[in-house]
Amino acid sequence: SQTIHQWPATLVQPVGSPLSLECTVEGTSNPNLYWYRQAAGRGLQLLFYSVGIGQISSEVPQNLSASRPQDRQFILSSKKLLLSDSGFYLCAWSVRRVASGEQYFGPGTRLTVT
Amino acid sequence: KQEVTQIPAALSVPEGENLVLNCSFTDSAIYNLQWFRQDPGKGLTSLLLIQSSQREQTSGRLNASLDKSSGRSTLYIAASQPGDSATYLCAVGSSNTGKLIFGQGTTLQVKP
């Protein structure tokens, strides 16, 4: 069966510090991968998605970036965090090349920027 | 641009009641629609996926319907239980990359 992992589970970082959140998927190959952010009062917003290694599409202009160094690894990064980066970050995957496929979410990372 | 709206934002019902959660979307050209459940501080659990060619899907006490022409979906929960208390999110798949556009969610409280 497939599982999706995210770490860390919680993170408190000062403004201006760097960020690295990691997501890995087990039990499948060549998945589509997604990063979402859930901010208080704003709902879930798609940040990045990837259909393959090194293929990243950005949905929202921001000071965040994403990378996919391996098939089942998706990393969200920032060089300098802003207060507005606080939120709940969720990684998700779906079967590649299946546009109507179900999307599965990880447990999330709670980020607080102080 | 696809927009997804969920009404009501919050709902409180006594245990045992049947209830309906509503989701509407502005662009009927969708690939699928997915209903999720989110418990406080947790990730999303997929409940039901309806393909664009389908009218409804059922799982246990849950039934989701889709009417693309009117841009609406409903999630029906039968015989609600306190364990059903959570936030329910509707999401529309609007492109061939599988990207989802989410509604703001309906927070449900089922009182014993």
pLDDT tens-digit readout, A23-73: 999 998 899 999 999 988 778 999 999 988 989 998 886 789 999 999 999
Are the Cβ atoms of B98 and A103 closer than 8 angstroms? Answer: yes
| pLDDT value of residue B50 | 93
Q: If you average pLDDT over residues B28-36, what whole number do you get?
A: 93
With contacts defined as CB-CB under 8 Å, which chain A residues touch B31? 99-100
Percent of chain B with pLDDT over 70: 99
With contacts defined as CB-CB under 8 Å, which chain A residues touch B105? 43
Are the Cβ atoms of A90 and B44 closer than 8 angstroms? Answer: yes
- Chain A residue with the nearest C-alpha to that of B42: A107
Are the Cβ atoms of B97 and A99 closer than 8 angstroms? Answer: yes
Residue B41 scores a pLDDT above 90: no
Distance from CA of B13 to the nearest CA of A (A): 23
Considering only CB atoms, A49 lies closest to which of B32, B44, B99, namely B99
Q: If you average pLDDT over residues B68-90, what whole number do you get?
A: 96
- Chain B residue with the nearest C-alpha to that of A52: B97
Residue B103 scores a pLDDT above 70: yes
Residue B87 scores a pLDDT above 90: yes
Give which of A57, A97, A36, A6 is closest to B102, Cα–Cα.
A36
| pLDDT value of residue A99 | 57
Residue A100 scores a pLDDT above 70: no
Least confident of A38-52, A81-95, B39-53: A38-52
Check: CB of residue B75 under 8 Å from CB of residue B88.
yes
Residue B95 scores a pLDDT above 80: no
CA gap A60, A79 in Å, rounded? 17
Burial class (CB in 10 A: 0-12, 13-18, 19+), B63: middle
End-to-end alpha carbon distance in chain B:
41
**Confidence bin at B81 (pLDDT 50/70/90):** very high
- Chain B residue with the nearest C-alpha to that of A56: B97
Query: What is chain B's alpha carbon radius of gyration, rounded to the nearest angstrom?
Result: 13
